Amino acid sequence: MTQNKPKNPWLWIPSLYMTEGIPYIVIIVVSVIMYKKLGVSNSDIGLYTSLLYLPWVIKPIWSPIIDLVGTKRKWFLYMQLVLALVFIGVGFNTSGSSFFFISLAFFWMGAFASATNDIASDGMYLIALKPDQQSFFVGLRGTFYRIGMITGQGLIVIIAGYLETSLGDNSKAWSYTMIIVGALMLLLTAINFLTTPKVEEESKDTSKKEASFAMVFSTFFTKKNIGISLAFVLLYRLGESQLVKMASPFLLENRQTGGLGLSTSEVGFLYGTIGVIALLLGGILGGIAISKNGLGKWMIPMALSLNLPNLLYIALAHFQPENIVFAGTVVVIEQFGYGFGFAAYMIFLIYLAEGLFKTSHYALATGFMAMGMMFPGMVSGYIQEWLGYTGFFIWVGIAMIPALIIAKSVKYPKEFGKKTE
- For residue range 268-302, list pLDDT tens digits in order: 888 767 887 888 888 888 888 888 888 999 999 99
- Burial profile 271-292: b = 16 or more Cβ within 10 angstroms, e = fewer: bbbbbbebbbbbbbbbbebbbe
Architecture of the domain whose range is 14-198+216-409: Up-down Bundle (1.20)
Q: What percent of the chain has pLDDT over 70?
A: 92
pTM of the predicted protein model = 0.71
What are the sequence ranges of the domains in the chain?
A: 14-198+216-409
Higher model confidence: residue 166 or residue 203? Answer: 166
Give CA–CA dist 270/333, Å, rounded: 12
Residue 420: its pLDDT value, please? 67
Give CA–CA dist 64/212, Å, rounded: 8
DSSP state of 84: H
Average pLDDT of the residues in 141-155: 81
pLDDT at 78 over 90: yes
Confidence band (pLDDT; 50, 70, 90) for 136?
Answer: low
Give CA–CA dist 103/91, Å, rounded: 8
Tens of pLDDT, residues 332-379? 999 899 889 988 998 899 889 887 777 778 878 888 888 888 888 888
- Burial profile 351-367: b = 16 or more Cβ within 10 angstroms, e = fewer: ebbeeebbbbbbbbbbb
pLDDT at 224 over 80: yes
Tens of pLDDT, residues 85-99? 999 999 998 887 788
pLDDT at 241 over 90: no
CB of 132 closer than 8 Å to CB of 148: no
Higher model confidence: residue 130 or residue 53? Answer: 53
Confidence band (pLDDT; 50, 70, 90) for 398?
Answer: very high
Residue 139: its pLDDT value, please? 65
